[in-house]
Amino acid sequence: MKDFRYLENVTTLVLDEDKCIGCGLCEVVCPHTVFKVENPKASIIDRDACMECGACAANCPVEAISVTPGVGCASYIIQRWVKGKDAVIECC
């Protein structure tokens, strides 16, 4: 995905390196190579490539990663603006 870059400094991704046990899963599940795990902990190597899918946070066994996952879809976001955050939303 090197030919596609989206907006910078928007992702909600946060890594708590103190909690990390270096299991390596975040690197395996991330589809945009945001993490690198080596001696012995994970670090974020390409933060702006993150698309907030939530795969890393869901799979970190010690909850060292947090991200607000969501659907990057305009009609979804409009419905959320109109109906409020917790509404049931039909989407793509």
Partner 1 sequence: MKQLSIKKFDADPPKCDCEGNGRSNGDKVTPLQSLQPLSIPMAGAVDEDAPCCGPKPAPPSRPYEKSGYRIVHFVKDFVKTPVGDIPRIETGLKGLDIGGTIRARIGISRDRYKVAPGLYCVGSPDNESPVLVTANYKLSFDSLRKELAGLDAWILVLDTRGVNVWCAAGKRTFSTEEVIRQVKRVELEKMVSHRELILPQLGAPGVSSHKVKKGCGFKVIWGPIKARDIKAFLKNDKRTEVGMRQLTFTIRERIVLIPVELSLVVKPSLAILLAVFLLSGISPDIFSLSAAWFRGLNGAAAYLLGVFAGAVVVPVFLPWLPSRRFYIKGIQTGVTAGIILLLVLGQNITRLESVTLLLLAVSVSSYAAMNFTGATPYTSPSGVEKEMRQGIPVQLLAVVVAVITWVAAPFVS
List interacting residues with partner 1 (CB under 8 A). 1, 3-7, 10-12, 25, 28-33, 49-55, 58-59, 61, 68-78, 91-92
> If contact means CB under 5 to 8 A according to the sort of partner, which of partner 1, ligand SF4, none does residue 58 touch?
partner 1
Residue 5 token pair: 């870059």
Find the shortest distance in angstroms from Cβ 5 to ligand SF4: 13
Nearer to partner 1, 22 or 54 (CB): 54
Cα dihedral sign, 51-8-68-28: positive
The nearer residue to ligand SF4, 46 or 79, going by C-beta atoms, is: 46
SS (H, E, C) 7-74: CCCCCCCEECCCCCCCCCHHHHHCCCCCEEEECCEEEECCHHHCCCCCHHHHHCCCCCEECCCCCCCH
- Which residues would be at the binding site for ligand SF4 (CB under 6 A)? 13, 20-26, 29-30, 32, 34, 37, 42, 50-56, 60, 62, 64-65, 67
